[in-house]
Structure 1
Amino acid sequence: MKKVLIVDDSAVWRTYLQNLLELHGHTTEVAKDGLEGLNKFFTFLPDVVILDYVMPKLNGVHFTRFIRSFSTFRNVGIMILTGAEETINPFWAKKSGANVFLKKTAAQSEIERTVLEFVSQPFSMEWSRELHTLHIEPYGELVDILEESLRDSTITKEILQLSEYIYDETLIMKKIYSLFTELLEFDNFYACISTYSHARIYAFGKTDLASPYSVLEKAENYGFFSYFEYVEKCYNFADRNLGQAVVELMSKKDEPIGFVLIENPKIPEVAGHILALANYSISQLFDLLNYNKLLGSGKELDEVTGAYNRHSIAAKITNLMDFSKRSELPLSFVRITLRSLRKLYISKGAEYTNRLLKSFVTLLEESLSDTVARVSIGEFLVVLLGKNQQQAQAQIDSLLKLCSEPGRCEDLKELVIETYILEWKDESIGEIFERLSSKK
């Protein structure tokens, strides 16, 4: 059963929805406007919110956008109800963060079915440091909400504008440290940026800096897992372990690309909240730094697996598309996803898992094509020139059969392999990547 918050300025609708949901075993709270709804949200901590679009003080879209600005609320379900004359532009509907919009003018049976089916989905309130702070100190006035929104946008702008220094990674790290010293009181600042094979760790502060291995260990305790083989220590450090710390993990499309750690913050709850606000912009900046480092290195191959990296594969595909068109040959793309990879990294370590990936890529190159790229930690792209979708499927079937047989491929049984095949129909390379990524 779920905890459901109902926010509507109509007493009739509040009562109707409350009775419907409680009749089916759910726990409910109600609020008569957007501002009261926010206060109830931070004290009741619902799994699902059902709210009106047009309300006094704060409408449903603004309410939703504010809630979605906190990463800890990403799994809370939000349904917005709209009246007969109320329409919302599809763009803003999509960007609002609401899971679904429902017309109040629909038939009663349809409304009840839709509401109950929506609430039954696996929405949930997830516990976190940020949530603990917000639960203790809920927002009391609209000015607090506006101030929080301004703080979020200001921090985002300050960090993203550092991209102009993309040619100097050390300088960017220094400027991020300088920004946080203006926002918070703490001893030391650590930042880790990681690719598939390397991690670079920077640190600045007032006291002796802790060992990078102690920093990594602390981050791992917060859920960061070390899948890289090499650690570049970009600072001088003492032989000591970390003290009290607040950690924020950075990711790109759910893949870890680093973390930021603040040692001995004066108020840990505030430090955690500021780091959460900065998560999106720092993640974007870290990803850009990784891409720039890849470009600057001039390397075409992923150092761990020997496959092409995500920078170089684009040029290879462009050339193959041109050759395919001129020669009137079919061209197919195979996305291979390894679902078990994270568990392998955690259970058997980076050295073993990376060796397994190298063997897997070698098998792909021998069995399918010499154009194999690693496009994410656990995802590979194989380009098959001269093969249509049916022919590509036959090759994939043979590969999967080979992986299940004893002998040279014995260890590859540990990989949970999923494939998706796409035949080129004269799309651009960007459209191909979009189609491949949308079929997950």
Structure 2
Amino acid sequence: MDKKVLIVDDSKFWRMVLQSILEKLGVNQIIVAEDGTKGIEIALKELPDVIITDYNMPGISGLQMCLYLRSIPAFKNAGIAVLTGSDDVINEFWAEHSGANKFISKLLSKDVLEKELERFLSGDYASSKSKEMFYVTSIYDVLEQKMRTEILNREILSLIQFARDELYVIQQLKNFLEFFSRFTGLAFLLLSPVEGRIYNFGLPLSKMISKEKLLGSFERPLEPSNWSYFGNFGSEFKVDGLETVVIKYQESEIGLIAYTNPTDRWSLNKVLNEANESISLLFNTLNIFRELKVASTVDGLTGLFNKKELLRFLEETHNLAKINKTIYYVAMFDIDNFKKVNDTYGHLVGDEVLKGLAAILKEEIAGKGIAGRYGGEEFCLIITKVSNTDEVVDLIEKILARVRNTQFPHGKCTISCGVVSSEGYESPTEVLKAADDLLYISKKTGKDKASYMFLPKNNVLLSQAQHQEQT
């Protein structure tokens, strides 16, 4: 047997018994230590694949020794068996969390003990001989390492309290990593079924290429229904030296950290390894908050914002517009003859029409504002990032044309629309009502059209008449 085995026991008798059993089982590399402190020091020097230790020893117990060694990456996959005597009482919780692979009673007969050890030694246990995995040389290094690990994990776990503000958490995590290494580029990806989010700090890749590159590091990547991008993205198709660390939570791939050209790769890898569980918990918490937020703000059928979120955003936009003396626009849409679609083809087909229209609205409004489902077959755009009214008209007319020319499950479809600027209105409710009134005018004057009003509210009909004359 080519495994290297370390025996740790303060009893000379038991050291001899165990060594005799191991020699009989064909173990050629046997090392012995007479207490826990020496056991740790020898383990750090010899890197045994299997450690068999007594539980009750003076100074450091077998359980403490086990906890120390498990905190070192080199012994992550090593086998550790703890021998217990008649007077040893081990709390089940600490036994489960000690890191030991097996507890064996010293009260067993020699034949049974031999069989137990034989089964244990047949396990796939091995310590890591990689220099990158091993960076302690004495028990004092172990103690310092445990202290460092606890501080690192405490720092990361403290960010969980800010999980409602994901951008802030990611920014703080970036700052934290930069204590240990600088980068030319750094990115974070968080992945949940409802939304994938990429936070970019310096990678020159485009949004789509970033998504493709980062997802390529996963074994079984999810494909969320929505993606969000934060930071400044470039137009490059490749980047040199991109390194990634996949973050897992209970074997599920939930996130990723990517970086280029770290100034101190060793320190960075060390931190990411030591704090992996805390980062995993942090990412999982961020995903949970994001899923709860999406569930409370997004319409389940169309994936657009729901009415509640629309009204919240409208009120916030209106207040900011008053403060900054800016103008925004609201467009209300209604699917023409939608009741006939439902009555003729059924609600499942009707739902596909709603989803198809939602996809068009979401694509066209991207970068200019938000889209939401106001209720039933009625939709709303809140347009905040346009230069002038001509751009608004071009946007709306393009949407109408796309809907008009799209082949839906039942055939062709059209929509009617009312569009109004916020200029001259005191409240967001008045803006919304004005847009709805214009939608009503479009419905009553032929459908498949948009009615616009970009003048103060007392000129609604005049503005509409002027637009009709122009068209």
TM-score scaled to structure 2, two decimals?
A: 0.56
Q: Which residue of 1 aligns with 2:82?
A: 80
What SS class does the counterpart of residue 86 from structure 2 fall into?
coil
Instruction: State the distance in 1 between where 2:74 and 2:223 align.
Output: 27
**Offset of residue 42 of structure 1:** 4.1
The answer (yes or no) to whether the contact 2:44–2:138 under 8 Å persists in 1 is: no
Partner residue of 1:163 out of 155, 160, 163: 160
Aligned partners of 2:94, 2:210: CA distance in 1, in Å? 41
Match of 2:195 in 1: 198
Relative distance call for 1:215 and 1:17 in structure 2 (3 A) is farther
Task: Answer yes or no: is the 8 Å Cα contact 2:221–2:253 preserved in 1.
Answer: no
What residue is the counterpart of 2:432 in the other structure?
Answer: none
The reply to whether residue 120 of structure 1 matches residue 130 of structure 2 is no
Deviation at 1:78, TM superposition (A): 1.4
CA distance in 2, matches of 1:245, 1:251: 19
**C-alpha displacement of 1:74:** 4.2
Residue matched to 2:288:
291
Q: Residue deviations 1:224-247, cap 9 Å, x none?
A: 443325543222123263443553
Q: What are structure 2's unaligned runs of at least 5 residues? A: 304-471
Change (3 A) 1:15 1:179: same
The within-5 A match list for 1:238-387 is 238=234, 239=236, 241-244=238-241, 246-298=243-295
Report deviation, 1:46: 3.5
Equivalent residues of 1:54, 1:60 under 8 A apart: yes
How far is 1:173 from its partner? 0.2
Structure 2 counterpart of 1:180: 177
* SS of the residue 1:51 aligns to: strand
Kept in 1, the 8 Å contact 2:248–2:280? The answer is yes
User: How far does the alpha carbon of each residue in 1:295-324 deviate from its partner, in whole angstroms, 9 at most, with x for none?
Assistant: 1112699999x9xxxxxxxxxxxxxxxxxx
The alignment's C-alpha RMSD in Å is: 3.2
Aligned residue type for 1:193 = L
The aligned runs of 1:7-26 (5 Å cut-off) are 7-26=8-27
Q: Contact 2:6/2:43 (CA < 8 Å) preserved in 1?
A: yes
| 2:142 aligns with one of 142, 145, 148 | 145
Q: Which residue of 1 aligns with 2:229?
A: 233
Q: Secondary structure at the match of 2:238?
A: coil
8 Å contact kept, 2:198–2:211: no
State the one-letter code of the partner of 1:202.
Y
**1:98 and 2:100 are equivalent in the alignment:** yes
CA distance in 1, matches of 2:94, 2:128: 26
**What residue number does 2:56 align with?**
54
Shift of 1:223: 5.2
- Structure 1 position 148, deviation (Å): 0.7
Q: For 1:418-429, list aligned pairs within 5 A.
A: none
Mapped to 1, the partners of 2:92 and 2:253 lie a distance apart of 32
The Cα of 1:52 is off from its aligned counterpart by 1.8
| Cα distance change of structure 1 residues 114 and 69 upon mapping to structure 2, 3 Å threshold | same
1:189: how far off?
2.7
State the 1:72 CA deviation. 6.6
Larger radius of gyration, structure 1 or 2? 2
Shift in CA distance, 22/188, structure 1 to aligned 2, threshold 3 Å: farther
Distance 1:89 1:8 in 2: 21
Aligned residues: 298
Deviations 1:184-242 (A, max 9, x none): 344433211101353212133xx554456666666567654433255432221232634
Distance 1:168 1:19 in 2: 61
SS in 1 for 2:158: helix
Q: Is the 8 A contact 1:246 1:271 kept in 2?
A: no
Most deviating of 289-298 and 181-190: 181-190
Deviations 1:258-315 (A, max 9, x none): 12233322232221111011111111111111111111112699999x9xxxxxxxxx
Q: CA deviation at 1:90?
A: 1.9
Runs of 4+ deviating beyond 6 Å: 299-304
TM-score, L = length of structure 1: 0.59
CA deviation digits over 1:97-127, x for unaligned, max 9? Answer: 2122222233222221211111113334467
Q: Using CA pairs under 8 Å that are at least 6 residues apart, name the structure with larger relative contact order, 1 or 2.
A: 1
**SS in structure 2 of the partner of residue 271 of structure 1:** helix
Give unmatched runs, 5+ long, in structure 1. Answer: 307-440
Structure 2 residue aligned with 1:107: 109
2:231 partner SS: coil
> For residues 112 and 303 of structure 1, what CA distance do their matches in structure 2 show?
61
Cα distance in 2 for residues equivalent to 1:143 and 1:122: 29
Q: What amino acid is aligned across from residue 266 of structure 1 in structure 2?
A: T
2:391 matched to which residue of 1? none
1:340-389 Cα distance to aligned partner (Å, 9 max, x none): xxxxxxxxxxxxxxxxxxxxxxxxxxxxxxxxxxxxxxxxxxxxxxxxxx
